[in-house]
Amino acid sequence: MKEPVVLEIENVGGFAGKHRFKLHAGLNVARASNAVGKTSLTRAIDLLALSDSDLQGKGYYANQFMPREDQVVVRLANGSNVERRFRRVGERDLKSVSGPSPFQLDGQRVASVCFAVPDNELIRSLLAGESVNGYIEKFSDSEYYDVGATILRELEEEARNLLSSYRDDLIRLESLNESQEELAKERTNLEQSLTRMPTLDSSKIFANQKKYSELKARRDKVEEQIAADEAALLLYADRIKEWKSRIKFLRTDIDAIEKKFPRLEEGRKKLVAKIEEVKTKRDDLIEPKRDTRRRKMSSDGPRKTLRVRSRMNKLLRRD
């Protein structure tokens, strides 16, 4: 019985760091729950056979959480000690840093046949380090190749979706863990604060409640007074608005009167001058008559004096 071949992998798929598996001759069956590494194990075998061109788009074969400077390593510890090393380029591609595959005829065909051919003969040849060229030529054009290629594409898409989902779940889990730690710290702080709080006195609580009620009643009165004052202010504002309108009209009337005032003043001055002129003429007319009457009165006696006075009074009234 042949000794089992040791498959050593590092940073492949869901396996972070180094891991070892023993593969026996014949059919090897891997049974496990979901998301524990069955697909990652097949990808490690796939990496042994993929050509450099086939590594494009295989960035998800690498562990998504490994440090950027680390490498993906697949080592087959048999008589030939086959080893391949890869470095991740960006997020989508892998690049071989240890040369081409030692099993390379058509790496993609090798991988497809690995998944599609049921008798496991190719895997036994790979593990034994034997040439697989004739086997690939025999089966690569068969119906199993197309079936295997379809299965690989479906598995690739499913793996990408699962990886994206797992990555999102891990991010959410880390966020929840951080939130839980913060809540735990906050709870601890609150508990410590509660232990440091003094014992409450019921009489003080009642007094504070009574004081609070009084303050609330005073606040309600103040709010009512503020509402009344606001209503009064609105009324005064309306009145002020009305008064401003009246003042505007009065200013318009005053401006009109001020424009008329110079003409009125000029007319008044002319009227005063005319009155003064009339008074002067009247005085010039009255004074000679008075002198004449005085002379007659002195010659005619008292009787004539009375007549003269009566006539002078009539003349004055006429003037």
Question: How many residues are there in the chain?
Answer: 319
Selected residue with higher pLDDT from 130 and 282:
282
Taking the C-alpha atoms of residue 309 and residue 319, their distance in angstroms, rounded to an integer, is 15
Instruction: Please enumerate, as own/partner, the contacts of 225-231 that have beta carbons within 8 Å and a separation of 24 or more.
Output: none
Q: Is beta strand 93-96 parallel, antiparallel or unpaired with respect to 72-77?
A: unpaired
CB atoms under 10 Å from CB of 304, counted, come to 14
Contact assessment for residue 123 and residue 49, using Cβ atoms and an 8 Å cutoff = no
pLDDT band at 290 (very low <50, low <70, confident <90, very high): low
Q: Which of 16, 17, 19, 42 is nearest to 29 (CA)?
A: 42
What is the tens place of the pLDDT at every residue in 235-252? 888 888 888 888 888 888
What is the tens place of the pLDDT at every residue in 114-170? 444 444 566 666 666 666 666 655 655 555 566 666 777 787 788 888 888 888 888
- What letter does residue 62 receive in the DSSP assignment? B
Residue 55 has pLDDT above 80, yes or no: yes
Q: Which residues partner with 6 through β-bridges?
A: 22, 77
Sheet holding 82-89, edge to edge: 15-23, 5-12, 72-77, 82-89, 93-96
**Residue showing tokens 């309306």:** 238
Taking the C-alpha atoms of residue 175 and residue 314, their distance in angstroms, rounded to an integer, is 125
Exposure string over 162-186, b if 16+ CB within 10 A, otherwise e: ebeeeeeeeeeeeeeeeeeeeeeee
Contact assessment for residue 7 and residue 21, using Cβ atoms and an 8 Å cutoff = yes
Contact assessment for residue 126 and residue 97, using Cβ atoms and an 8 Å cutoff = no
Q: Which helix (H) or strand (E) holds 198?
A: none
Alpha helices for the chain (secondary structure H): 38-49, 107-116, 121-128, 133-139, 143-196, 202-300, 302-318
Residue 275 Cα distances to 26, 73, 186, 278, 279, angstroms: 150, 133, 105, 5, 6
- At 15, is the secondary structure helix, strand, or coil? strand
| Mean pLDDT computed over 279-290 | 75
Tokens representing 121 are: 């003969």
Claim: this prediction has a pTM higher than 0.75? no
What is the tens place of the pLDDT at every residue in 103-114? 654 444 454 444
Contact assessment for residue 61 and residue 47, using Cβ atoms and an 8 Å cutoff = yes
| Mean pLDDT computed over 294-303 | 58
Helix axes 107-116, 121-128, angle to 10 degrees: 130
Tokens representing 195 are: 């232990």
pLDDT band at 289 (very low <50, low <70, confident <90, very high): low
Contact assessment for residue 35 and residue 162, using Cβ atoms and an 8 Å cutoff = yes
- At 291, is the secondary structure helix, strand, or coil? helix
pLDDT band at 10 (very low <50, low <70, confident <90, very high): very high
